[in-house]
């Protein structure tokens, strides 16, 4: 089952019709609220997301999908309007798997959808990290240090998981704020520092897994 969130009725109907006619099941929704309620009934195998939507926009929907363990690896393709490079980049930064410019060519859409579905089948290993005595399981939201469970707050966990997923990559405070707290979060980058500090404390001798990159931000070693 493929879910499409697109407020333009013409595009929505065309995409759903095209996918269904090639043997792929698809349902269209005109806004985030309808999409979330359908998601509770049935988990799709892929999501197509328009960016400009009434209410919650496509990037916000994407961010929420990536943060929830059960949808963190769900393949997502963004539909971007012509000339909105910024949205495309934001989408990829937030973890979109692919993007397609609107109006999408139907042959290309089907080919890309099939490619993403194939890729999802081949790399479906669980999102778990083991660094020295530190073990993190994203689907189970479990963290252990030398075999003992450590209790993290929601944001501490999301921060740690995101950093381990991108181990070796330097993350600016702004990027961490936008991914973990939401891109329209109005807080300060100091929030990130405070959380890193308590997170390191809870991880004990494995706190060094998160390194400070002076003048830039943080990176995880993994
Ligand atoms: Ca739109």
- 175: part of which helix (H) or strand (E)? helix 173-176
DSSP state of 54: S
User: At a CB cut-off of 8 Å and minimum separation 6, what does 182 contact?
Assistant: 60, 63
Ligand 1 centre distance from Cα of residue 159 (Å): 30
Query: Rounded to the nearest whole angstrom, what is the distance from the C-alpha of residue 43 to the centroid of ligand 1?
Result: 23
Q: Residue 139 Cα, ligand 1 centroid: separation in angstroms?
A: 32
161: number of Cβ within 10 Å:
23
CATH class of 128-220: mainly alpha
Tell me how far the alpha carbon of residue 220 lies from the centroid of ligand 1, in angstroms.
37
pLDDT per position as a tens digit, 106-138:
999 999 999 999 888 766 666 899 998 999 998
Domain 2-123, architecture per CATH = 3-Layer(aba) Sandwich (3.40)
Gap from CA of 81 to ligand 1 centroid (Å): 8
The model's pLDDT over 19-37, given as tens digits with 9 standing for 90+, comes to 999 999 999 999 999 999 9
Ligand 1 centroid–CA 49 distance in Å is 9
Distance 51 CA to ligand 1 centre (A): 6
Distance 153 CA to ligand 1 centre (A): 35
Distance 73 CA to ligand 1 centre (A): 24
Per-domain boundaries in the chain: 2-123, 128-220
Task: Look at residue 208 in the predicted model and tell me its pLDDT.
Answer: 94
Cα 200 to middle of ligand 1, angstroms: 42
* Mean pLDDT within 200-220: 94
Task: Kindly give the distance from the C-alpha atom of residue 179 to the centroid of ligand 1, in angstroms, as a whole number.
Answer: 22
What does the pLDDT look like over 45-99, one tens digit per residue?
999 999 999 999 999 999 999 998 889 889 999 998 866 777 777 778 888 998 8
């Amino acid at each position: 089952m493929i879910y499409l969130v697109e407020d333009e009725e013409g595009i929505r109907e065309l995409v759903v019709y095209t996918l269904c006619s090639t043997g792929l099941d698809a349902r269209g929704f005109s806004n985030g609220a309808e999409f979330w309620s359908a998601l509770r009934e049935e988990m799709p195998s892929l999501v197509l997301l328009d960016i400009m939507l009434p209410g919650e926009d496509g990037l916000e929907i994407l961010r929420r999908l990536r943060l929830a363990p059960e949808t963190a690896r769900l393949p997502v393709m963004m539909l971007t309007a012509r000339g909105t490079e910024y949205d495309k980049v934001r989408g990829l930064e937030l973890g979109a798997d692919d993007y397609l410019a609107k109006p999408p060519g139907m042959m290309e859409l089907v080919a890309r959808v099939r490619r993403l579905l194939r890729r999802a089948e081949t790399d479906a290993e669980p999102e778990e990290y083991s660094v020295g005595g530190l073990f993190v399981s994203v689907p189970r939201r479990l963290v252990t240090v030398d075999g003992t469970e450590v209790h993290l707050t929601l944001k501490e966990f999301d921060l740690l998981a995101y950093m381990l997923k991108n181990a070796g990559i330097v993350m600016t405070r702004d990027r961490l704020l936008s991914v973990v707290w939401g891109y329209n979060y109005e807080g300060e980058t100091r929030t990130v520092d405070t959380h890193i500090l308590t997170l390191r404390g809870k991880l004990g001798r494995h706190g060094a897994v998160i390194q400070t990159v002076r003048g830039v931000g943080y990176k995880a070693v993994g």
